[in-house]
Structure 1
C-alpha cells in the first residue's frame, strides 16, 4: 500500500490526482501556533482548456510550471493542519492562455478546503457559537458566518400555505409580553405564531415566508377592533384591498373594509 493511499485516507482526500512524497509532513510555528504542513502536488492530463474549451489533442495543452496554495484542512490531532498544494499550471496553444489544475478538495480561488466548510455547517447544526466554531475549524469568524449563510441559502425553501381568509390576534405569554398569531378564519387552524407584535417583525415574517402570489390571493383579514394592523395589511396583501368586506363587529373582532 503506497504512502499516497495512506495519507489520502488520513486526510479523507479522495482525489487520486493529488500525490504525496516521502517526508511530506512538517511541523512548525505559524502565526504563533504550532501547525502541521503537508506538501502535495496536484497534476493530471486535462481533457480541454478551461478558458477556450478546445480539446487537448496532439499536445495542444502543455504543462507550464506550478502554483502553490496553502489550504486549510480540519485539524489532524491537536494542531492546525494545512495542505501545501502545488497545482499544475497548463498552457493552451490554441488560445495562448494559462489555467491551473482544479480539485474537489478546494474550490477555485479559495484557500479553505471543502472539508473545513462541511465541518463548519456540521458544528453550526449543533447550536455552537460562531467564535467556538471558528476555533475548532481554524477559520475566521467572518468565514464561518459566510459559509453558514451560503449553506442556508442553498437549502430548499419549505412551502407554506396561506389561507384566503385570515384572522390576526394577540395574546399574552411569558410575564405578560404580547405575542402575535394569525389563523385560518374559516377553519380556526393556527398558521403561525410570532413572539412579538412589532410591525417590522410581522412584515418580515410574511415577506420571507410567503410569496407575492400567495399574499395577493388573500381576500379578507379579520382583526381586533383596537389593533393597528391596517397599514401592514395594505402593504402585505395588495390585491386583497378590493376584497375586504365589512361584517357586523363582535365584541372582540371586526373585519376590515377598505
Structure 2
C-alpha cells in the first residue's frame, strides 16, 4: 500500500513511508514518517560512527499537488537526531519539500508548468491549492531565465497596449509581438516615447534595420519611432483599430440623426435596427452596399463600405 500510494503521489524518496491515508471533507490527509541512518552530522560534519542517535520526531505539514481534484496534505513525521560529538540537533532531510517550507517541490514544478498557459495567477493558485502570492514568487524566481534577445528583431514588429498591474510604473504597459509568427517578445512597464527609445537603443542599428513593418494602433507615439529608431520601417495601422474607428463614427452619426426623430416614429426605429445590424458585423468584411429603407421618406441613399482583408 505504501509503495502504491507513493507512486500516485509522485513521491520518489525511499526514506518516506506511508502510514495512513484518510479522505476528509476538504482534502486527502496522508500520514507518513521519514527516517534513515544519517552518514554524518549536518551541524558539525562529523561522520556517524555510532555518535548520532534518534531523538524523537517532529511533524511538518506539506501541501502536495491535487489528485483527482482533491487537495492533498501530507503530515510528515521527521526523525529528530542528536549528535554526541557537538551536542547539536537536526532533522531528517527529504527531497519532497524544501527545508522550512510547507509546499512540496512537485507543487513548485506544477505551478511553473501552469504559468505557460493563458490563465490568471488566481486560477493557477486555486488549481495548485496555494495562494496567488506563491504563484507570483515562483514566477519571479525563474524570471531571470527568460532573457530578452537583443541580437534579433522580427521583420514585422507589433506594438500594442495592455492595462498595467499595480506594480508597474504607468497605467498602461506596452507589449511587443512578432507579428509574422504571432510570438511574444517583451513587455514594458511604460509606453512613453522616451522609454521606448531607450529600450530599442539597446539593439544595434544593424539589428533595428531588419525591421521592415511596424504594426501599431492609432497612438501617435509609436509611428515616431520610425524617424530615429527604425529608419527602414513602414508603419501599418492594425485593421482592428480601423474597423473600430469606423464603427464609432457610424454610431455617432446614427445617434445624431436619430435625435431628430421621435422615439415612436418609423425613422427612429429603422435607424435603431440599422445600428444593431452593423454593430454585429463579422470579423471578415467584404464589400457591402446598404440602401435606404423603404420606410424612410428620404431620397435613395447608398453607402458602400470597402475593406479588404
Q: TM-score, normalised by structure 2?
A: 0.52
How far is 1:54 from its partner?
1.3
Please show how residues 151-230 of structure 1 align to structure 2 within 5 Å.
151-153=142-144, 155=145, 157=147, 160-161=150-151, 196-203=191-198
**Residue 10 of structure 1: aligned partner:** 8
Pick closer, same or farther for the CA change 1:132–1:55 going to 2, 3 Å: same
Q: Runs of 5+ in structure 2 lacking a partner?
A: 161-173, 177-184, 210-223, 232-309
Distance 1:17 1:129 in 2: 37
Aligned length: 190
The structure 1 residue matched to 2:42, chosen from 39, 46, 50, is 50
Pick closer, same or farther for the CA change 1:25–1:156 going to 2, 3 Å: same
Distance 1:149 1:193 in 2: 15
**Residue 253 of structure 1: aligned partner:** none
Pick closer, same or farther for the CA change 1:161–1:54 going to 2, 3 Å: same
Distance 1:47 1:114 in 2: 24
How far is 1:172 from its partner?
10
Distance 1:144 1:202 in 2: 32
Pick closer, same or farther for the CA change 1:134–1:68 going to 2, 3 Å: same
Pick closer, same or farther for the CA change 1:172–1:156 going to 2, 3 Å: closer
**Residue 73 of structure 1: aligned partner:** 64
How far is 1:157 from its partner?
4.0
RMSD: 3.9
Whether the 8 Å contact between 2:148 and 2:186 is mirrored in structure 1 is no
How far is 1:27 from its partner?
2.6
**Are 2:109 and 1:111 equivalent residues in the alignment?**
no
Pick closer, same or farther for the CA change 1:115–1:173 going to 2, 3 Å: closer
**Residue 25 of structure 1: aligned partner:** 21
> For the pair shown, which has the larger CA radius of gyration, 1 or 2?
2
User: Relative contact order: is structure 1 or structure 2 higher (C-alpha 8 Å, sep ≥ 6)?
Assistant: 1
Distance 2:93 2:5 in 1: 19
Q: TM-score, normalised by structure 1?
A: 0.62
The structure 2 residue matched to 1:82, chosen from 73, 78, 84, is 73
